Amino acid sequence: MDKFVITIARQYGSGGRTIGQMLANRLGVEYYDKDLIKKASEESGINEALFAKADEKNKGFKGLFSFLKKKNYGGDVLSPDSSSYTSEENLFNFQAKIIRDLAEKESCIIIGRAADYILRDRDDVLSVFIHAPQDFLMEQAAKKHSMSERELEKYIAKVDKSRAEYYKAHTGREWTDARNYHLCLDSSRLGFDRCVEEIIAYMKIRM
């Protein structure tokens, strides 16, 4: 199979990260998630903690028209002498640079971080969104967190809200809009193994 990149956006608790890891093992390629932060830190010289703080979050722009205060991703990183070198926008741009570099040189699986948008113009990219009903999200999240049902519900909503705001701030698009992705899968109906099979089957057809 020719070089390819699969990007996976996912609701919290949908198993998107697990599916990504399973895909990487099945296809024999690298899997990138939080290690993108370390790579971006090494590339930029910016403290890794700043990347971690801004990772898939958007706390700096509040309000109904907040997205107007921020330009959508354009691809350029700032020079170290810029006063905005450690801004959220530039931190995103450095991660985007790492994602573009990886897509250029190797087949891989990339989790989150608006990678579908960053790589949207590449023909060798398959973008996937993994979702599931609330009861399934709750069931899966309960395996990792010891919380009451109400606390767990709030936690899932908070994580997904952060991801949606992050995506909107950097892309101008709605995170859950199916039109942003080549393939949307309900992991509760298919199960993780079948999701892997469906992604591989779709990839063979598309590529």
- Over residues 187-192, the mean pLDDT reads 97
Domain ranges of the chain: 5-206
Give the predicted TM-score (pTM) of the model: 0.86
Q: Specify the pLDDT at position 85.
A: 79
Whether pLDDT at 154 is above 50: yes
CA distance 6 to 20: 9
- Letter for the amino acid at 107? S
Whether pLDDT at 66 is above 70: no
CA distance 180 to 107: 21
Burial of residue 68 (CB within 10 Å: 0-12, 13-18, 19+) is exposed
Percent of the chain's residues with pLDDT above 90: 64
Q: Which residues contact 78 (CB under 8 A, 6 or more apart)?
A: 84, 85, 87, 90, 93
Token pair, residue 77, equals 């990183």
Q: Specify the pLDDT at position 152.
A: 94
Whether pLDDT at 160 is above 90: yes
Token pair, residue 97, equals 């640079």
Q: Specify the pLDDT at position 167.
A: 95
| Chain segment 17-56, per-residue pLDDT in tens | 999 999 999 999 999 998 888 887 887 788 777 777 777 6
CATH superfamily of 5-206: P-loop containing nucleotide triphosphate hydrolases (3.40.50.300)
Buried residues in 123-161 as b, exposed as e (16+ CB within 10 A):
eebbbbbbbbeeebbbebbeeeeeeeeeebeebbeebbe
Helix/strand/coil for 101: helix
Q: Specify the pLDDT at position 142.
A: 93
